[in-house]
Homo-oligomer: A and B are copies of this chain.
């Protein structure tokens, strides 16, 4: 037990990459997460839109390390850090003493000071968020089917997505396809093809982090699918009845929030400076200022590139940071000089529009249309963990391609859970 003890908080892309890269480094690792699973967030919108099941894109963290006796997995919630005693405190009273600490605690969605919007406009970060959004989408169609008031029926058949980043664009594309291709034959009183899917974006264009030509292509492709684009419109109010924007009111019973980000409270635990989104402003070696044994990686860290642009909050960036922190820890243990400062290598940006088009921005090379969609699909299957998930996701997509039917269309976790109307 006199080995160097690395405590990793957060089993996302950054935390797992670090634990993987410390294999054989002669350290003892304790990996703490509030959830028992690692989540492949890039495909979470497909769980929310009835394409994939939760178990297709999430894996028990402790299972991933079953062949790593040096890794102990703890299901627990961090409530504070005592940097003087080098101790992490978990809810329930357990403490973990560390030699090196890695905070990879991620981020959640932010409402720009209007957290009261969350109940009517849920965001998409966890499996529960995804099943909540799925339930609301499916229930809206169910309620529209038995609604007699035409105005209410229209509001039930209007889905508003706030924020036209990749998540917003991906959600809008699948919802409109669900309404136009999958559902029409199943309802008797409503025509689901008349469903409105409204994408509200305060900026001037969709997918603002992509090159303008790709962004324009994505906007056009969304329009052809049937998504209403409301760019340049700020959201002023979200209520159960709809969204009020700077351009008027959209009566809409289902709202999904895909704008804004708020880092986990790592900066507060350490009492160090943070940026506006709460991210720790880290040193060049990804340690927290004043705490050379505390690394902060992924969405919890604010890292500015030489170009002046921030490192984006995407999976490859978190992985690179996790790998870098592992390299620093290894160098220190070997008493070697520190590696060169962390430098982010951008490998490209991807986004899909529905089930047949995508855009990919590799910098010099830009792709769009079905070829981009295939590259996107293959890349995502490749990055899934384990043969079983790759197979399951590929099968789900193939099934939709062949049959047009989404398979994960269950409404679960309703308030009333007893006295089932079934045999």
Contact status B77-A11, CB under 8 Å: no
Is A39 an interface position by the 8 A CB rule?
yes
Say how far A416's CB is from chain B's closest CB, in angstroms: 7
Contact status B73-A186, CB under 8 Å: yes
Is A421 an interface position by the 8 A CB rule?
yes
Is A405 an interface position by the 8 A CB rule?
yes
Is A408 an interface position by the 8 A CB rule?
yes
Say whether, besides A142-B36, A186-B73, A10 and B408 are in contact (CB < 8 Å).
no
Contact status B14-A423, CB under 8 Å: yes
Say how far A38's CB is from chain B's closest CB, in angstroms: 7
Contact status A11-B421, CB under 8 Å: yes
Contact status B13-A66, CB under 8 Å: no
Contact status A413-B413, CB under 8 Å: yes
Contact status A75-B38, CB under 8 Å: no
Report the bound CA distance from A62 to B35 in whole Å.
34
Interface centre among A34, A297, A421 (most CB of B within 10 A): A421
Say how far A184's CB is from chain B's closest CB, in angstroms: 9
* Interface locus among A120-128, A249-257, A336-344, A346-354: A120-128
Contact status A423-B142, CB under 8 Å: no
Is A53 an interface position by the 8 A CB rule?
yes
A423 partner, pick from B53, B265, B300, beta carbons under 8 A: B300
A188 partner, pick from B10, B72, B392, beta carbons under 8 A: B72
Q: A69: nearest residue on chain B (CB-CB)?
A: B188
A108 partner, pick from B138, B410, B419, beta carbons under 8 A: B419
Say whether, besides A10-B423, A187-B62, A128 and B417 are in contact (CB < 8 Å).
yes
Is A55 an interface position by the 8 A CB rule?
yes
Report the bound CA distance from A410 to B389 in whole Å.
14
List, in ascending order, chain B residues with CB within 8 A of A412's CB. Answer: 54, 127-128, 131
Contact status A10-B421, CB under 8 Å: yes
Is A418 an interface position by the 8 A CB rule?
yes
List, in ascending order, chain B residues with CB within 8 A of A37's CB. Answer: 409-411
A55 partner, pick from B53, B60, B299, beta carbons under 8 A: B53
List, in ascending order, chain B residues with CB within 8 A of A420's CB. Answer: 34-35, 105-106, 108, 125-126, 264
A53 partner, pick from B54, B66, B411, beta carbons under 8 A: B54
Report the bound CA distance from A9 to B34 in whole Å.
41
Is A401 an interface position by the 8 A CB rule?
no
List, in ascending order, chain B residues with CB within 8 A of A146's CB. Answer: 74-76, 94
Contact with B along A382-410 (1 / 0, CB 8 A): 00000010011001000100010101111
A299 partner, pick from B32, B143, B403, B423, beta carbons under 8 A: B423
Say how far A11's CB is from chain B's closest CB, in angstroms: 6
Is A65 an interface position by the 8 A CB rule?
yes
Q: A13: nearest residue on chain B (CB-CB)?
A: B423
Q: For window 106-156 of chain A, which residues contact chain B by CB distance below 8 Å?
A: 106, 108, 125-129, 131, 138-139, 142-143, 145-146
A421 partner, pick from B34, B131, B392, beta carbons under 8 A: B34
Report the bound CA distance from A412 to B423 in whole Å.
26
Say whether, besides A94-B146, A413-B413, A421 and B106 are in contact (CB < 8 Å).
yes
Say whether, besides A391-B395, A405-B63, A412-B127, A421 and B35 are in contact (CB < 8 Å).
yes
Is A345 an interface position by the 8 A CB rule?
no
Q: A72: nearest residue on chain B (CB-CB)?
A: B188
Report the bound CA distance from A66 to B54 in whole Å.
25
Is A104 an interface position by the 8 A CB rule?
yes
Say how far A156's CB is from chain B's closest CB, in angstroms: 13
Is A225 an interface position by the 8 A CB rule?
no
Q: A15: nearest residue on chain B (CB-CB)?
A: B423
Q: For window 1-39 of chain A, which residues contact chain B by CB distance below 8 Å?
A: 9-15, 32-39
Contacts A36-B411, A63-B186, A127-B410 known; 8 new A-B pairs at CB < 8 A: A34-B420, A38-B422, A63-B409, A72-B188, A264-B419, A265-B419, A388-B405, A392-B395
Q: List 11 A-B contacts (CB under 8 A).
A: A10-B421, A14-B423, A34-B422, A35-B422, A36-B411, A37-B411, A55-B409, A62-B187, A75-B142, A77-B416, A265-B419
